[in-house]
Structure formats: structure tokens, C-alpha cells
Amino acid sequence: MGAEEASEDARELERLLAEDGRVEPTDRVPAAYRRALVRQMAQHAHSEIIGMQPEGAWIESAPSLRRKAILMAKVQDEAGHGLYLYAATETLGVEREELLAKLHAGEQKYSSIFNYPTLTWADVGAIGWLVDGAAIVNQVPLCRCSYGPYARAMVRICKEESFHQRQGFEILHTLARGTPAQRAMAQDAVDRFWWPSLMMFGPPDADSTHSARSMAWGIKRFSNDELRQRFIDMTVPQAEVLGLTLPDPELRWNSERGHYDHGPVDFAELARVVAGDGPCNAERLAHKVRAHEEGAWVREAAAAYAARHGHQGAA
């Protein structure tokens, strides 16, 4: 593509964003906008899918049938949400299969949080409360992002996810009021998931490579640090209701700022986990690849059946 054409695309995008703030699939947009979108949506979709594993591992061991049903429905939602997001990337002409291949090859990322293990039942509660809580803070602004199919998928996802955080909070609330062992389990889970949840908002603004451009393009609406602060402000009072401690001695209300001050997030750890050196990176990816490979014969069978009986599938 010539430089002239590229700058014309950039002007067209500027015009669209200025006129109604929304871009739709067939609009003419710069390749860089498209690449940034695909990267962000794919990472988001992959996170939903890999995110099924840490909690999914507890479906078979949920301690009551009510909890088992809730968890099964929640992990199912994550599959659904991954699907909505892959469908949104398809509107940019990127096939799901292509994205899965990149995920499986380690060429595309998913959220670092899912590389931490779930060691006890209380972790299911901590994930719902903290991880889904952080995800919601990240996602709500995306309901107004500039790319129409992504924004619409996010509206649907946010609506469905409103129960995810509540069920996590409810698990921890019950444990915190349970036996001493249950209470200890809840505190331990919060201790382990608090800092990784803060890392979900990404590196500090000063080090965030794509932030400024993404903001201008309307595919990101608030900075990493703003969202992180919003999450902390929202979560501290909830921890008090739970009667659980957040593992940060520096956490205190700053009336001048109107926000909670907090201790430093270990971004070196975030970098390590993102680079593949987290506790469960290899395990998560291997699980996903194995499932995909072991399902190949099923997909091939369905394709062969359709080829033989017609794609209308009259059966």
C-alpha cells in the first residue's frame, strides 16, 4: 500500500471517529488500527478461553450441588464470551482457527492472571471477586469502544458477567463466616490473588507501549493506572464487609486525593509471567493444545458428513 493511500485511510478513520465515534466492519481503516484491534480482541478472547481452566478444575469438586451448578454456568459463560469475541474478530476477516493456531504456538498472549494455580476451593471465590471484578472494571469502558462489533460483544459480556463477581463474593462471604479452617482458606486465597489482580491492568502508564495510540483510536478509554485505582477504591470497602485483609500494609485512604494509596505493584513479576515464566503457563497452554488436537477427529468427521450430506445438514 502506498503512503498516500495509507494516509487517506488514516483521514477516513479520523473522520469516522469524529462524526459518530463508531467504526463498522466494512469501513476503510488504517492497517495499524486493524492490527491493534485484532491483537486486543484476540488476547481478550484467548483470556476467556484459557480462563476456563483454573476454575473449571473445581467443577468436579465443588462442595455443594448449588455451587457446582453456579460454577458450571460460570465457566460455560467464559466459553460463550470467548466465542462472542472470536466472532467479533471474524468481522475483520480473521478466522478463529488462525487465532487459535497463534495462541497454541505461543505467538499471542492471554491475561497473565490465568497462569496462577487454583490451590483450594476458596480460590474460586477469590477469582470471582477479584479477577472478575478487575475484568469488569477493564471491560465496562470497552462497551463504548470505537469498533462496533467489539463494543456490542462487550455489552453482552458485561451484562452476563454481572453474576460472576457476585458469586465469588458470596463464596468468600460464606467462608469468612464459616469454620476457622474455611476462614483461613479464604484469607489465603485473597492473599495470593490480590497482587496478580492488580497486575491485570497492565504495566504503569509510563511504560505502557500502546496506550496513547489506543486511546486516540477509542479502543481504550482510560489509562492502566486510572483503572487500577478505580478497582482498588471499589474493592477495599468490600474487603471490609468480608472481614478479610488485603495483603498491602500501605493501603490507606488519602482524603486529599480522594483515593486509596497503595504499595508498589511488582511489575517485574508481571513481566516474567507475561514472558511465559509464570507458575502455570506451560500447563495452561498444553491443556488447550491437547483438547484441540484430541478433538480433531470429531471436527473432521463433522466436516466430512456435511460435505456428503450437504451444508444445509438436512438429517
Partner 1 sequence: MTAWEDPLWEVFVRARRGLSHVHVGSVHAPDAELALRHARDVFTRRQEGVSLWVVPASAVTASRPEDRDAFFGPAADKTYRLPTFYDVPEGVEHL
Partner 2 sequence: MTTTLVPGSARALLALGDDALLASQRLGWWISRAPVLEEDVALANIGLDLLGQARGLLARAGELEGRGRDEDALAFWRDAPDFRHVCLVERDQRDFGTTMVRLLLLATWQRELYARLAASSEPGLAAVAGKAVKEVAYHVDHARAWVLRLGDGTEESHLRVQRALDAEWPWVSELFDGSWLDPEVVAAGVLPWPDELRPTVLGEVAAVLARATLRLPDGLADGLAPEPGGRLRGRHGEHTDELPGLLARMQQVARAHPGATW
| Sites of contact with partner 1 (CB under 8 A) | 24, 26-28, 73, 76-77, 80, 83-84, 87-88, 90, 95-97, 153, 156, 160, 293, 296, 299-300, 302-303, 305-306, 309-315
Judged by beta carbon distances under 5 to 8 A according to partner kind, the member of partner 2, partner 1, none in contact with residue 27 is partner 1
CB of 192 to partner 2, least distance (A): 17
Cβ distance to partner 1 smaller for residue 160 or 233? 160
Q: How far is it, in rounded angstroms, from Cα 78 to Cα 162?
A: 13
Contacts 24+ apart (CB under 8 A), 84-89: 84/153, 84/156, 84/157, 85/41, 85/44, 85/45, 85/48, 85/150, 85/153, 85/157, 86/45, 87/149, 87/153, 88/41, 88/147, 88/149, 88/150, 88/152, 88/153, 89/37, 89/38, 89/41, 89/42, 89/45
Q: How far is it, in rounded angstroms, from Cα 117 to Cα 115?
A: 6
Judged by beta carbon distances under 5 to 8 A according to partner kind, the member of partner 1, partner 2, none in contact with residue 172 is none
From candidates 16, 29, 41, 49, binder to partner 2 by CB under 8 A = 49
Note whether 299 binds partner 2 by CB under 8 A. Answer: yes
From candidates 40, 182, 223, 281, binder to partner 2 by CB under 8 A = 182
E-assigned strands of 138-297?
252-254, 259-261
- Selected range binding partner 2 among 33-41, 46-54, 144-152, 230-238, rule: CB under 8 A: 46-54
Element containing residue 131 per DSSP (H, E): none
Max Cα distance, the chain (Å):
71
For binding to partner 2 (CB under 8 A), which residues are involved?
A: 49, 52-53, 56, 59-69, 72-73, 75-76, 79-80, 82-83, 86, 96, 121, 171, 174, 178-179, 181-182, 287-288, 291, 294-305, 308-309, 315
